[in-house]
Amino acid sequence: MHRRLEKRRASFPFLMSAAALVLGLCLAVTPAFAAVFVTNAPGAVDENATGSFTTEVVRSGGPAICTFELTVNASFASVDTLTPPAGWSATVVGNVITWTATGPCIADGDTLLVNWTADAPGSGGDYANNWDAGGGTATGSFDTHVNEPNFGNSSKSVVDRSGGDVEPGDSLRYTVHVVNSGDMTATGVIANDTLSTDFSAAVVISGGSIIDPGPPIVIGTGPAPLAAGDTTTIVFDAFVAALTPDSTTVLNRAWHISGQTARAPTNTTNSLVINPTDLTTSTKTSNDVNGGVLAPGDTLRYTIAVNNTGGADAGNVTVRDTLDPDVAAVANLGPAVIESAGPPIAIRWDAGTIAWNDADTLVFDAVLAFPLDNGTTILNEALVTSDDTTPFTTAQTSDAVTSAPSFSGSSSKSVVDRSGGDVEQGDSLRYTVHIVNDGNMDATGVVVRDTLSTDIASAVIVSGGSIISAGPPIIIGTGPIALAAGDTATIVFDAFVADPLADGTGISNQASVVSDQTTRQTTNTTNTTVVAPILTTSTKTSNDVNGGVLAPADTLRYTIAVNNTGAGTARNVTVRDTLDTNVAAVANLGPAVIEDAGPPIAIRWDVGTIAGNDADTLVFDAVLAFPIDDGTDVLNEALVTSDEAAPFTTAQTSDAVTSAVDFSTIAKTWADDDGGLIQP
């Protein structure tokens, strides 16, 4: 605090003596060369403080001084007077104090000491106070100085303890000087420094403490007094965050406040962070190893290129790649490892240090799941991290899968005759339909239909499916159902061949399948040819064994030829022959038997089985009756039956009998009934 005595020169209504000028006295000169000297002590007071002052008035010559008026500067408040000296009174009006002599005035060479008080303003500086001695005899002024703290010279500085450019992880040493360059002690001085969020930690070296660990970190000190001319210093180290981006400017300044001053900042420090490590051009690409369109089960080859395009090494570079959930397996990982077996599968590649302006590459294979829906998009990206950079995610790869169900490759239909051998009328044909989804996508809404030939009389489901329509035609089917890729839907049913059915009838059949994803597709066609016996070329012929014209009692030799000109076997072949009523007897029947002794005589020949394109023959004799009228036609035909063929009657044989009355051989004979001689 400064204390000083102020003297001010009085104003002169007349010229000041040369001697007064030489002495530099504060005086007022009267016409009689009177002079008044005024001094005030103390010359200074702290801002906002109440000052107690003593003003000294000295008269040197001139008329007596009976009044003294002091006008205190308007910036002061609560102006008042203390007890006036003996023989004087005092009055206060606002900032004007008037002392008036109630006894002797100030004689030549006398001194008047008056005391007064006033509250100083809140701002420092010199404030002029005016006085008037003797009612205009002499006037003048003196300054009262108001003391105040001043922190205008406070400062903050920074230096990188590592030297060179400021980089992530560096320790910056900050020094904060809070300087009271004013002329008054400051009370309640508080200094604090809120650090940039680009700092990860701080350590106080001296002065102050960590007020708040943050973020943001706050370092400070106080409240405490700080005398005029004194300095409070805080020294601390602040650590630049490891992942601070390149070209980040770290701004920082301290603030101070006191009981006498408002909050104000120091200068701002600027630290430009140089983080030249740059991995943001790293890439990930994909390629279908199998070529063509990407299909389920294909192998995608991924290439991850970690590019450090910056000017400093990148340490502890790690690449993490969480694959698409539709990746079933990985292979050829090289230095990478499987971090999670998934799904989804995640791999990690510890690439280590990648020098500035250098790169490293990882190539590995990803095997897609099977099956996959058409249009499935395989998405992937890699996350690249290091000690020196912020995490960077590569651009995403996107690979679209092309897939579809398919039923045309392995689906099939087969048939087998459960009776074995040739397919014949009435046989049971076992059909097996396999609908195979040999595509690479699951199928939905799968519908199978099998419309049978109209030559199938009935059908029975063995397994799978159902009879959709009893027909005709009969329709077998199933669905709609879901059929996963690689799976098979099977329908087994028995179909019964119609009876009768012509030999050589072809029964063709195929199944069809349609789904939500596919158009109608068909299985192979089964072709079955029905074989049946044909007995319609069977014949019966006759021949007169006796030769010549046919006469009564002659023997007719009949030949019955049962001809199976069809491909099918004729079973239980039976020939029945009811002979003409003019046949009296039969002979040489061979395997035939007399079924009726007649008349008419009927025979039966149980031929048995006649294979396709084969024949069998029966020859037997028929003895005609005697006599028979001339011209009688002996008619005959055979009826051929079998299990498979319709009954067939051979063409009729017709043999005309030639006969006549003949007496040319008439004779008469006698004999004696009594024997011996003929006697009367």
| Mean pLDDT of the residues in the chain | 90
Q: How confident is the model at residue 422 (pLDDT cuts 50, 70, 90)?
A: confident
Give yes or no: residues 25 and 132 share one domain. yes
C-alpha closest to that of 172 among 223, 232, 244: 244
Predicted confidence band at 34 (pLDDT cuts at 50, 70, 90)?
low
Same domain, 523 and 451: yes
pLDDT at 320 exceeding the cut of 90: yes
Q: Quick one: CA torsion of 206, 210, 211, 215, rounded to 10 degrees?
A: 140
Return the bridge partners of 636, or none: 653
- The pTM of the whole model exceeds 0.85: no
Closest to 539 in 3D by CA, of 503, 519, 564: 564
pLDDT at 658: 94
In terms of domains, do 206 and 235 share one? yes
Q: How many folded domains does the chain comprise?
A: 5
Claim to verify: residue 495 and residue 598 sit in the same structural domain: no
> Residue 137: phi, psi to the nearest 5?
-60, -45
So what's the pLDDT on residue 670?
57
Which tens digits make up the pLDDT trace of 258-317?
999 999 999 999 988 877 788 999 999 999 999 999 999 999 999 999 999 876 788 999
Contact 539, 651 (CB under 8 A): yes
Domain boundary among 93, 124, 147: 147
254 and 237 in a single domain? The answer is yes
Is the pLDDT at 118 greater than 50? The verdict is yes
**462 SS3 class:** strand
Please report the pLDDT score of residue 668 as a whole number. Answer: 66
Asked if the structure places residue 406 within a domain, the reply is: no
State whether 512 and 586 are in the same domain: no
One domain, residues 616 and 553? yes
For range 252-258, the mean pLDDT = 93
In a 3-state reduction of DSSP, which class is residue 45? strand
Are 246 and 302 in the same domain?
Answer: no
391 in the same domain as 302: yes
Closest of 12, 108, 113, 101 to residue 62, by C-alpha: 108
Residue 277: inside a domain: no
Cβ-based neighbours of 18, under 8 Å, separated by 6 or more: none
* Domain stops at, among 498, 530, 562: 530
On whether both 172 and 254 belong to a single domain, the answer is yes
- The answer to the question of residue 679 being in a domain is no
pLDDT tens-digit readout, 322-348: 999 999 999 999 999 999 999 999 999
CB neighbour list of residue 498: distance below 8 Å, 6 or more residues apart: 425, 426, 455, 456, 457
For residue 445, being part of any structural domain is answered with yes
Q: Which domain holds residue 79?
A: 6-147
Q: Which of 530, 548, 577 is at the close of a domain? A: 530
Q: Among residues of the chain, what percentage have pLDDT more than 70?
A: 93
CATH of the domain at 459: 2.60.40.740
For residues 260 and 338, membership in a common domain is answered with no
Are 143 and 11 in the same domain? yes
